[in-house]
Structure 1
Amino acid sequence: MNILITGGTGLIGSALTQLWQTEHSIWILSRAERHTDSGNVKYINALQQVNFNELDAIINLAGEPIANKRWSTRQKSRICQSRWQLTEELSQLIRLSDSPPKLLISGSAIGYYGRQDSQEITEDYQAFFPEFSHDICARWENLAMQASSANTRVCLLRTGIVLAENAGALKKMLPPFKLGLGGVIGSGEQYMSWIHLEDMVALIDFVLKHESLQGPVNAVAPKAVTNKTFTQELAKRVNRPALLPMPGFMARLLFGEMSDILLYGQRVVPKKLQDAGFHFRYPQLGPALASLSL
């Protein structure tokens, strides 16, 4: 297949490219860095450099990291526009194509559901909480769905916390835990929906091959855990105590509005993937952490 990946130099995109580079011809949109083409992998810095009529699929993963900085007005705009503008451009180019790509897999996040209690949430869940994380994802998804047609299938990956070595969320969590300074955040009862990087890449490949999947797809492991359980498992993995909790007021003082993603959570279930027969290599948190070199 001929596949375009935006955000192809990020955590998920890089792993996906590694999986596909011998099987498919890949174009990677990279506007910030210079890269050298290698084998079936070619780098472009503008969408106009690839012919959409020759593409079979587009994987849209680009976007400013949501938890890198405090949510100032300027940073909120960067988070939103880095997702919305590119996704809108992709949808327009797909619609204008004479022979459009058969598939658009576009990123989203479980933040779409907003803060929730302990009930399990499938893709059909509609009682979302209206806050910034929902606003980002709702417009992001709506822009991607503009590409949907009889010729183009659109899947929206509502992704949880991606667990990987020396990258992503764990890279930020590990330093205090390794010093024995980790601890529960807030009440510790908020749910954390997570997924191992290997499963994340495998499910994208699964979606590529299974034409029955479309619309929202919860990209999370089957067993979400509370923050308290996550804290215990991570401390156990690095063989350190986790005795320094972070009260809610301290999280708000340190992170401002961004603390919402730490203090509230969602118990998300990957129902569509399970119904379609996808097999998770790491359905449980303990084995997932054990598989990583931390």
Structure 2
Amino acid sequence: MKIVIAGGSGFIGRTLTDFLVHEGHKVVILSRSVKKGTENIRYVQWLHPGAKPEKEIGSADAFVNLAGVSINAGRWSSEHQQQIYDSRMNATDELLRIISTLSTKPSVLVNGSAIGIYPASEDTIYTESATAIADDFLAKTVADWERKAGMVSFPETRAVFMRFGVVLGKGDGALPPMVLPYKLFAGGKVGSGRQWISWMHIQDVVRAIVFAIENVHLQGPVNTTSPYPKRMNEFGKTIGAVLHRPHWLPVPSFAMKLALGQKSALVLQGQHVLPRKLLDSGFEFTFPTLESALKNILIDDV
């Protein structure tokens, strides 16, 4: 296949590109700057004055939209929140424009999303059939992002919203800062410890994206998480067990709020999310359990 990726330089985008190329596909990465490609990876400039990426793309089997300012970078000041929101809306608008100009439409637009759309809860279990939406900045961003991507109004183009949980991988994403205290023998419960972490190994994340591209019956929200989420305290204990480090030094909620401001909600609150659509469609997880994922990332890949 020929697959266009917006946001190809990010954590998920880089891993997805490597996976697709390894599987023999052609990848077009939309980039703000002109870069030299390879036989199977081509860079096309976009979101730049005068850029006409549709002329270089020609046609494609699928578009994957992962573009947007990272929610993990910096404190959530009003300015940063606006950048997070606007970057997603603007990039999606441009993708919709590009697709509208193509004589042959892609079969699918796979759009990034997040489980942050669901309200934080220690008791509720969320599948894709849940209609509740949280009343906060992240949920509004996700809901508007999905609504925007869903405006791809061509009968031959499905829209799939991959609602990513906490993506675990080596050297990037959420895991390294979570592991660091344990490496320093200072790991322990964060906040109440009862908040849920719905997580997924980066390799399963990119496999799920390709699965969504290839399976024509998948559309709308797709929870992209492991079938076995963990409460924060158990998550930390599992890190400690894998690394043979103690789980003993608690980090109180007020300290996280002081350090991270509004962004502390990403750590102190959580959602119990299950990937019902993936499971019902026959997707097989390579790393379904947290222990298997952490051993692969922290031990096997050293």
Q: TM-score range by the shorter chain?
A: over 0.9
CA distance in 1, matches of 2:153, 2:244: 48
CA distance in 1, matches of 2:8, 2:106: 18
Q: For residues 115-138 of structure 1, give each alpha carbon's deviation from its aligned partner in whole angstroms, at most 9, with x where no partner exists.
A: 123221101101222111101101
- Pick which of 39-48 and 250-259 moved more: 39-48
How far has the Cα of 1:45 moved from its partner? 2.1
Runs of 4+ displaced beyond 4 Å:
none
Aligned partner of residue 115 in structure 1, secondary structure: coil
TM-score of the superposition, structure 2-length normalised?
Answer: 0.93
Change in Cα spacing, 1:61 to 1:108, as seen in structure 2 (3 Å) is: same
Give the match for residue 167 of structure 1: 172
Q: Which 5+ residue runs of structure 1 have no aligned equivalent?
A: none
Aligned partner of residue 287 in structure 2, secondary structure: coil
Give the match for residue 60 of structure 1: 65
AA at the equivalent of 1:282: F
How far has the Cα of 1:62 moved from its partner? 1.4
Alignment of 1:22-171 (within 5 A): 23-31=24-32, 35-46=35-46, 48-51=52-55, 54-171=59-176
- Pick which of 187-196 and 18-27 moved more: 18-27
Contact 1:27 1:42 in 2 (8 A): yes
- Pick which of 56-65 and 168-177 moved more: 168-177
Aligned partner of residue 292 in structure 1, secondary structure: helix
Contact 1:154 1:215 in 2 (8 A): yes
How far has the Cα of 1:56 moved from its partner? 1.4
Q: Matched residues, percent identical?
A: 38
Aligned partner of residue 167 in structure 1, secondary structure: coil
How many residue pairs align between the two structures?
A: 293
How far has the Cα of 1:283 moved from its partner? 1.0
Give the match for residue 213 of structure 2: 208
Contact 1:53 1:100 in 2 (8 A): no
Give the match for residue 199 of structure 1: 204
Aligned partner of residue 133 in structure 1, secondary structure: helix
CA distance in 2, matches of 1:203, 1:214: 13
CA distance in 1, matches of 2:160, 2:249: 40
Contact 1:61 1:106 in 2 (8 A): yes
- Pick which of 22-31 and 102-111 moved more: 22-31
Aligned partner of residue 202 in structure 1, secondary structure: helix
Instruction: Please state if 1:230 is matched with 2:235.
Output: yes
Cα RMSD (Å): 1.5
- Pick which of 223-232 and 85-94 moved more: 85-94
Give the match for residue 9 of structure 1: 9
CA distance in 2, matches of 1:176, 1:35: 38
CA distance in 1, matches of 2:229, 2:152: 31
CA distance in 2, matches of 1:97, 1:15: 27
Contact 1:114 1:133 in 2 (8 A): no
CA distance in 2, matches of 1:169, 1:25: 29
Give the match for residue 260 of structure 1: 265
Aligned partner of residue 63 in structure 2, secondary structure: strand
AA at the equivalent of 2:263: M
